[in-house]
Amino acid sequence: MQDFLTAALYKFVELPDFAELRAPLLACCEAQEVKGTLLLAAEGINGTIAGTPGGIAAVLAFLRADPRLATLEHKEAHAARMPFYRMKVRLKREIVTLGVPDVHPALMAGQYVKPADWNQLLDEPGVVLVDTRNDYEVGIGTFKGAINPATHSFSELPDWVDKEMAEGGKLAATNGKKPRVAMFCTGGIRCEKSTAFLRARGFDEVYHLEGGILKYLETVPQAKSYWQGECFVFDERVSVGHGLNMGDYTLCRSCRDPLSPDDRTSPLYELGVSCAHCHGNTTEQQKQGYRERQRQVELAGAHHRAHIGLRQPGSA
């Protein structure tokens, strides 16, 4: 059986000519039979691709041949089947949408904190710990003592920050001094941009977890960990725990919410069709359509074929 390699990557870097990079990058990926999605913007590159180990290595070498991307890092995972069905290189205003102009993570992100030093930072008095992920992600796991902004998209975070900077808020200044803030996210990209945003708002001491939650779970022993629960990931694993072992969550194929083992005991849960979160939001006609889709998925699985219509977690 062929082994496929998935590479998740991002880098904030000034790319004023990003539009001109699209065609040669797409051609390289297609020549190597690599599939997935890459986003290009003036602020950098972000995305996930999959292919043979040789194909992925060739695409990464192509990217790193650009001196601005020479230090591009990536995270790898192996898969028994190709997780994507086409290759897309998209031009965007931002590689992760915050919606605030003049925030430049390549120039003004907060201080990186390595996973081995993260617990020590959190133990220091007066540090405000903020989870920059969306509410459904926070709901299945987060760091002990972290604040959940309860956002439904990353672009809602600036409004939350501005509200919490007001008197009595979690980010309010004391005696004219803004608090020290530590921020984290799944892989590092959102907290890099959010710390840059806080610095633009006048915060001097802002920190973010280098490599994100995934690097922390990979490198910090569970016995010493401050992490509680599991971490949502945007692939077919759905969630991971310490050591990046696959977690207990699955995905509702109707509403895309992560489902715990308890969620799947609900009488409103039907595999591929509905869960307790969305059962009342879809019509019987829609449910019949989902049942037919699930039937096709199971039929394809029985014949060891990929089902093209099955959206990936986190896909548009």
pLDDT tens column, 177-211: 999 999 999 999 999 999 999 999 999 999 999 99
DSSP secondary structure, 207-260, as one string: EEETTHHHHHHHHS-GGG--EEE-EE-SSTT-EE-GGG-B-S-EE-TTT--EE-
DSSP category for residue 14: -
Residue 115 parent element (H or E):
helix 115-123
Q: What is the largest CA-CA distance in the chain?
A: 67
122 and 87 in a common domain: no
pLDDT tens column, 7-47: 999 999 999 999 999 999 999 999 999 999 999 999 999 99
- Per-residue model confidence (pLDDT) at position 238: 87
CATH of the domain at 64: 3.30.70.100
Range scoring the smallest mean pLDDT among 80-84, 134-138, 158-162, 179-183: 80-84
Which of the residues 28, 29, 185, 231 is marked catalytic? 185
pLDDT tens column, 43-91: 999 999 999 999 999 999 999 999 999 999 998 888 778 888 899 999 9
Tell whether 240 is covered by a domain: no
Residue 254 has pLDDT above 70, yes or no: yes
Count structural domains, the chain.
Answer: 2
Tell whether 299 is covered by a domain: no
Tell whether 264 is covered by a domain: no
* Mean pLDDT, rounded, of the chain: 92
Tell whether 85 is covered by a domain: yes
Q: Which residues contact 294 (CB under 8 A, 6 or more apart)?
A: 253, 271, 272, 273
* φ and ψ at residue 131, rounded to 5 degrees: -85, 115
- Per-residue model confidence (pLDDT) at position 82: 85
205 and 146 in a common domain: yes
185 has catalytic annotation: yes
Q: CA 245, CA 170: separation in Å to the nearest integer?
A: 34
Report how far apart, in Å, the C-alpha atoms of 15 and of each of 12, 40, 98, 229, 313 are. Answer: 9, 8, 18, 38, 28
Q: CA 102, CA 16: separation in Å to the nearest integer?
A: 14
- Per-residue model confidence (pLDDT) at position 79: 77
138 and 63 in a common domain: no
Among the listed residues 249, 208, 255, 251, the one whose alpha carbon sits nearest the alpha carbon of residue 229? 249
- Per-residue model confidence (pLDDT) at position 214: 93
Tell whether 286 is covered by a domain: no
Tell whether 243 is covered by a domain: no
111 and 87 in a common domain: no
CATH of the domain at 118: 3.40.250.10
Tell whether 142 is covered by a domain: yes
Q: Which structural domain range is residue 147 located in?
A: 105-228
* Percent of the chain with pLDDT strictly greater than 70: 95
